[in-house]
Structure 1
């Protein structure tokens, strides 16, 4: 027999703790001017973003996140390399001839107009070309037999479909590089803009004192004229650094025409964007180390990118790490009105569906902590809202108040919002009687047959799955007990108890994250060969999407007066 004594033992796994919750943790990946690509930066409200990450779309969105995220949010940032941005609008055709499309890259700014001079078959018909919106046309020349018309310098090619071209038909589209065209209102010298854009901006240079270099004075805005710098003298070398945008405004030498007070120059700068392979490469190491609730990818993207990120979400799911992705749609391009933009987004969505991907198309002028108001996607504000609310809550709950610091375009209509929301995008909306702007329904890009078309459903389900998995692992390799006893067998009862403990944390949360649940271990299973199957029904909390108010008017004292009935 062993020695007689008192022996101590620790019984573990019975405290009721249910680990595994990662809600409220976001991994944000985007382009910035500083920071190490692929490195994880653990940030908080007091982090010096400019010192760590410089400027750029990632920094802009992080500022939006912290403005909307409340007091307790975990934000991890990952820099990624970016490419110069640019846009090419769809071709607008006026006439009765064949349609055309555009191919290429935005190598240089151009307002393309192609007019058919002599109609006929491809190879015979002639056309003239303008790259300045019809101010100057080239001489008419034959359209190639393959239907391709190269627009010199723009990096684009207009491609006609097969068929006859009709004289007088016009085909127009707009090409913009990272540095847009300089628009001048007023007389005087002309300026150019050069450099590499590191952050999007709407430059406005306003002359406040006439004169050339070292004499004339100006004020500069990077947010479309909402906020201006103080008055400054035009440098002697004529090079005006446009804040932290990465570009320089070049003024002509004093021997040329001087600047005139009151003249205004404006130019749009498009923020750099990452490629999908660059995003996935940058996320590889961070996703091996950290386990976020979701990943927010900064920068305009399309269905090709969404499909790649959906595949990454599937891979994480297969690794027992359910994670969803939040993406941004592109902004309207130069020369594209909101009607064309909405149609293009609807077409983009038509070829894609994935329940673990959400796309925010909401945008507007967003104010930051410095008072600047720049036009950008509202994905940062969306991420902040997600981080600030429990998993079962709709992002657009009116009781949580309007979105702070955003102004939507005046041309944005209720019909546009409804079409985009029906297509699966996360949108902004307004309500008659309220002054603010609110989030629409938190949609995912799930197909119409899916139960997971709403983000709060995904969030609630993912949290429950993560909690249940860790609790179920406690019972792995345990003795099952006597199968004749069914679900009351000791091992099965222990498994069930652990799962109930996990879901009880959500049912008993304040506010409730689940209305209830049902766990069943079906009888008659072949536990030896097939393992244990557990069926769990998560009973979610409905969202009030529509309220119908029915009112009637009744005269006092009439037989219909409810006070006199019964």
Structure 2
């Protein structure tokens, strides 16, 4: 009594809680690091020292190359599986389709040709294990339709229908170390090891001779860049960079000018392994999106969608970026596009995004390798406001990548319409540019575009944090003239203030918002319902130019006044 008492009135300065825009988790396979551990990285982090090599490291390089000045990325290593594959069956003819299954154990290009028509067990076929160059003698098709494809570990399964004469079924099987192609007269070489990172190996004999005499040059990116000329080792063992593969040259003389090529398939994650690895990092860190590195399909997207729904229910809106696979050996861009579209048509989710853009990507070392561009797009997202489209032309093209020359506007439009994130070319511009930043949302959804998802997610996060200030506050008397008590007015003002930070941001993230608390609510039993409308900034997705030509001084000259 009789003293001066001090009280702090907090929360009146207008400060808004920080959002999570500009932060992401990137998860994938790498050769070092602890599976499931979160590594906080910046532009100057030692990626190879922490994580070694592999798809995760390559993608992180892409993210940091396009991520602006201060990106924040959390890397999470996952367990890797063999990167080999059994390709889809390419069928020519009018007969029934077929499938292939198994586990890739050897490189193979198989072609099965139906020699005489008929039912399974009656129809005859010829099998080639060298891509159709030579065929074995015709035999009756197995009664169960299962055709063993050499020692590749793959089985071609014909359907129980009438087989048509002349139909062919082609299957490509690839192990992580693909077949070694040779151009020249030199002896064969061998490649072995466990693949840790993607590579397009090229070994060129510069000077003929045996071990410790001849010289060679090695390229890891298909001949785009070369190592220095070296002498053939005395033991014949050549390490192919940090890919995990060793090249063995024989003791015989190597012929000058002979070139050997081999494609290395990087290890891939399983979706169950990814989700297990993400469990702890997602509990500990709140991020805007998660990028899963590696080829994926609709079953993987469904798992990501389920996780996005779970995070939404935990008041942590997060969306997922996925990557579609690269074209397989022997697969045309038309076939690849059809396969991708079939996957896109089989699943929909507004909080999942699939990148189908691919091509050669340059890294700071000068190496250029073919890969999916999800990392390049993710970096662009981290560097721009939530309301901005990654395809904004004034922000520049995708200078780090070169689109596959066979990928044209018909492929791009088909995949974009189906819901994929793609890249495109503009006549008159040199670089490739991002197209619409699509999600897998249904056509009736408001969340078909990434910039809408980002803007709404940020507003929802800020609104929730602002609304928490009113938890257990007195609502006031809702029978007042304005039908709202003082506590409800404060709740409304807090949410409006949160939206105001996005409206006042530079660049602006929202055009405006409208917050309403409907009258007549039973607050005691049901709580308070707040409705707000976010008014976004429209994106220019098409421009139409209408040109007219008139003669100067004619009646159509718009400069002349018409009497």
From 427, 430, 439, the equivalent of 1:435 is 430
Give the whole-Å Cα distance in 2 for the aligned partners of 1:365 and 1:191.
27
From 27, 38, 41, the equivalent of 1:40 is 38
| Secondary structure of residue in 2 paired with 1:563 | coil
Residue equivalent to 1:66: 64
Matches within 5 A, 1:9-408: 9-254=7-252, 258-408=253-403
Give the whole-Å Cα distance in 1 for the aligned partners of 2:97 and 2:289.
42
From 400, 404, 411, the equivalent of 1:409 is 404
Structure 1 alignment gaps of length 5 or more: none
| Secondary structure of residue in 2 paired with 1:129 | strand
State whether residues 42 and 70 of structure 2, in contact with CA within 8 Å, keep that contact through their aligned partners in structure 1. Answer: no
Question: Which moves more between the two structures, 487-496 or 391-400?
Answer: 487-496
TM-fit CA distance, 1:36: 0.6
Give the whole-Å Cα distance in 2 for the aligned partners of 1:114 and 1:464.
57
State whether residues 87 and 334 of structure 1, in contact with CA within 8 Å, keep that contact through their aligned partners in structure 2. Answer: no
Give the whole-Å Cα distance in 2 for the aligned partners of 1:508 and 1:98.
62
| Secondary structure of residue in 1 paired with 2:559 | helix
Q: Note the alpha carbon deviations across 1:323-372, whole angstroms, 9 max, x for none.
A: 00011100000110111100100001111000000011111111001011
Does residue 518 in structure 1 map to residue 514 in structure 2?
yes
Matches within 5 A, 1:465-544: 465-485=460-480, 487-544=483-540
| Secondary structure of residue in 2 paired with 1:206 | strand
Summarize the Cα distance change of 1:555–1:169 in structure 2 as closer, same or farther, 3 Å threshold: closer
Q: Note the alpha carbon deviations across 1:429-474, whole angstroms, 9 max, x for none.
A: 1111111111111100101110100000000000000000000000
From 541, 547, 556, the equivalent of 2:543 is 547
Count, aligned residues:
561
| Secondary structure of residue in 1 paired with 2:470 | coil
Give the whole-Å Cα distance in 2 for the aligned partners of 1:39 and 1:91.
39
State whether residues 88 and 333 of structure 1, in contact with CA within 8 Å, keep that contact through their aligned partners in structure 2. Answer: no
Give the whole-Å Cα distance in 2 for the aligned partners of 1:287 and 1:183.
45
Summarize the Cα distance change of 1:260–1:509 in structure 2 as closer, same or farther, 3 Å threshold: same
Give the whole-Å Cα distance in 2 for the aligned partners of 1:439 and 1:298.
19
State whether residues 23 and 292 of structure 1, in contact with CA within 8 Å, keep that contact through their aligned partners in structure 2. Answer: yes
Give the whole-Å Cα distance in 2 for the aligned partners of 1:212 and 1:169.
48
| Secondary structure of residue in 1 paired with 2:451 | helix
Give the whole-Å Cα distance in 1 for the aligned partners of 2:41 and 2:358.
24
State whether residues 214 and 254 of structure 2, in contact with CA within 8 Å, keep that contact through their aligned partners in structure 1. Answer: yes
TM-fit CA distance, 1:153: 1.6
State whether residues 20 and 470 of structure 1, in contact with CA within 8 Å, keep that contact through their aligned partners in structure 2. Answer: no
Q: What's the TM-score once normalised by structure 2's chain length?
A: 0.98
Q: What's the TM-score once normalised by structure 1's chain length?
A: 0.97
Give the whole-Å Cα distance in 1 for the aligned partners of 2:539 and 2:205.
54
| Secondary structure of residue in 2 paired with 1:309 | helix
State whether residues 364 and 376 of structure 1, in contact with CA within 8 Å, keep that contact through their aligned partners in structure 2. Answer: yes
| Secondary structure of residue in 2 paired with 1:123 | coil
Q: CA RMSD in A?
A: 1.3
| Secondary structure of residue in 2 paired with 1:483 | coil
Does residue 558 in structure 1 map to residue 554 in structure 2?
yes
Give the whole-Å Cα distance in 1 for the aligned partners of 2:96 and 2:509.
56
State whether residues 69 and 388 of structure 1, in contact with CA within 8 Å, keep that contact through their aligned partners in structure 2. Answer: yes
Give the whole-Å Cα distance in 2 for the aligned partners of 1:559 and 1:121.
78
State whether residues 366 and 374 of structure 1, in contact with CA within 8 Å, keep that contact through their aligned partners in structure 2. Answer: yes
Give the whole-Å Cα distance in 1 for the aligned partners of 2:92 and 2:289.
45
TM-fit CA distance, 1:487: 4.8
| Secondary structure of residue in 2 paired with 1:27 | strand
TM-fit CA distance, 1:98: 2.9
Give the whole-Å Cα distance in 2 for the aligned partners of 1:121 and 1:559.
78
Q: Note the alpha carbon deviations across 1:131-183, whole angstroms, 9 max, x for none.
A: 21133433433322221112132121111122222344322121111111111
State whether residues 127 and 141 of structure 1, in contact with CA within 8 Å, keep that contact through their aligned partners in structure 2. Answer: yes
| Secondary structure of residue in 1 paired with 2:63 | helix
TM-fit CA distance, 1:252: 1.7
| Secondary structure of residue in 2 paired with 1:304 | helix
